[in-house]
Amino acid sequence: MYTQAMDVPNADDAPSVAAPANEAEAAAHFDARCAAGEYVEAKDWMPDNYRKTLIRQISQHAHSEIVGMLPEGNWISRAPSLKRKTILLAKVQDEGGHGLYLYAAAETLGVSRDELLTALHTGRAKYSSIFNYPTPTWADIGVIGWLVDGAAIMNQVPLCRCSYGPYARAMVRICREESFHQRQGFDSLQTMMQGTDAQRAMVQDAVNRWWWPVLMMFGPHDKDSQHSETSTKWGIKRISNDELRQKFVDATVEQAKVLGVGLPDPALTWNAERGHHDFGAIDWTEFWNVVNGHGPCNRERLAAKVKAHDDGAWVREAALAFSAKQAARAAA
Ligand SMILES: [Fe+2]
Ligand SMILES: [Fe+2]
């Protein structure tokens, strides 16, 4: 469990890493440690680019957990039963917890939470583009659990072996909770599929809308992926985007059969020679449009996030005042 530190600049929070006498030698030693599968810890020397890559990746991951609470949070008050309401409430709360672990893991790299949040709130930092799609029906909530959390698990399980210790350890706990999220989504859809024709149609409609954006969650094809090569060298990324996407498609096709829903891709077929499913072409124009701020809900999500942060200012002030009071008491 990481500290959920308030963002108070503190001189001894910065990693106390002396510059190495011989940078080339230190870099070679670092690469060798990564290649040997060793964990890198916050106070170890690391190349600037490794630090930057991790700050970018962990903070984007943290932002995604937090912004991801918005589309589902909309449905907490409208869940169809007390049971579903409690499950959804627990799930959304988990996502908030994931965001906090991850901000804390990013802070160990010497960046402040304030800087990370400012980058998000001013649109400089990215979060997963999947959360810029709307959730007009209750079936969307089941599909988010089944497909969006399902894709997140595929992406995140390899991160439990990521070379940066604090990130890897945060991911172990997060992945356990993501499995529960995926199961609850599937269970909710299964219940609806055993219901009326209207319920089945609602599930199918939601699957049709989410399928392609979910496949985009794995990121651009390996040949077009900017950061993959160095991330792989340093043990940050262990399995490529295309391999993960393929694993997800293969697993999901079987689950869709159990549910009794179709997947909206006429090109989706089993390829016995490859031992995998073939699938149709992804519309990357849509992906880049959404990443660059022009998805159906980008503005709405960012505005809701900024408003929540502003509305919570008094909580941060009160917590700081309380901790100052406690420190003064301890000093006295
Ligand atoms: Fe999560
Ligand atoms: Fe989740």
C-alpha span between 48 and 163 (Å, rounded): 15
Report the pLDDT averaged over residues 266-280.
97
C-alpha span between 138 and 189 (Å, rounded): 10
Q: What is the DSSP string of 212-256?
A: HHHHHTT-S-GGG-SSHHHHHHTTS--S-HHHHHHHHHHHHHHHH
Report the helix count and the strand count for the chain, using DSSP H and E: 14, 2
Of the pLDDT bands very low, low, confident and very high (cuts 50, 70, 90), residue 230 is confident
Q: Which of 105, 86, 155 is nearest to 5 (CA)?
A: 105
C-alpha span between 232 and 227 (Å, rounded): 9
Of the pLDDT bands very low, low, confident and very high (cuts 50, 70, 90), residue 18 is low
Instruction: Give the per-residue pLDDT at 206.
Output: 98
259 CA to middle of ligand 2, Å?
20
Find the ligand nearest to 100 CA: 1
Output the average pLDDT for the chain: 91
Find the ligand nearest to 182 CA: 2
**Structure-token match 């609806």, residue found:** 192
120 CA to middle of ligand 1, Å?
18
Question: Per DSSP, which regions of the chain are E strands?
Answer: 269-271, 276-278
C-alpha span between 152 and 309 (Å, rounded): 25
122 CA to middle of ligand 2, Å?
25
158 Cβ neighbours under 8 A, 6+ residues apart: 237, 238, 239, 244
Compute the Cα dihedral for 136, 145, 290, 220 and give only its sign: negative
Of the pLDDT bands very low, low, confident and very high (cuts 50, 70, 90), residue 188 is very high
C-alpha span between 172 and 326 (Å, rounded): 34
95 CA to middle of ligand 1, Å?
4
| Tokens coding 205 | 């409609």
Residue 311: how many CB atoms within 10 A of its CB? Answer: 9
Report the pLDDT averaged over residues 139-154.
97
267 CA to middle of ligand 1, Å?
31
**How far from 135 is each of 34, 69, 171, 206, CA to CA, in Å?**
41, 12, 27, 9
C-alpha span between 48 and 245 (Å, rounded): 30
Higher confidence at residue 58 or residue 228? 58
Report the pLDDT averaged over residues 83-108.
96
Instruction: Give the per-residue pLDDT at 2.
Output: 37
Instruction: Give the per-residue pLDDT at 16.
Output: 52
Instruction: Give the per-residue pLDDT at 268.
Output: 98
Of the listed ranges 30-34, 127-131, 204-208, 267-271, the one predicted with least confidence: 30-34
Backbone φ and ψ for 269, nearest 5 degrees, come out as: -145, 155
Residues with CB under 5 A from ligand 1 (ion): 65, 95, 98
Find the ligand nearest to 181 CA: 2
Report the pLDDT averaged over residues 261-272.
98
What is the per-residue pLDDT across 176-186, written as a single tens digit (0 to 9) for each? Answer: 999 999 999 99
What is the per-residue pLDDT across 39-69, written as a single tens digit (0 to 9) for each? Answer: 999 999 999 999 999 999 999 999 999 999 9
Report the pLDDT averaged over residues 301-305.
96
Find the ligand nearest to 101 CA: 1
Find the ligand nearest to 174 CA: 1
67 CA to middle of ligand 1, Å?
10
| Tokens coding 152 | 């997140």
**Structure-token match 């969006």, residue found:** 148
Instruction: Give the per-residue pLDDT at 326.
Output: 96
Report the pLDDT averaged over residues 298-316.
96
pLDDT at 12 over 50: no
41 CA to middle of ligand 2, Å?
26
In the beta sheet, which residues pair with residue 219? none
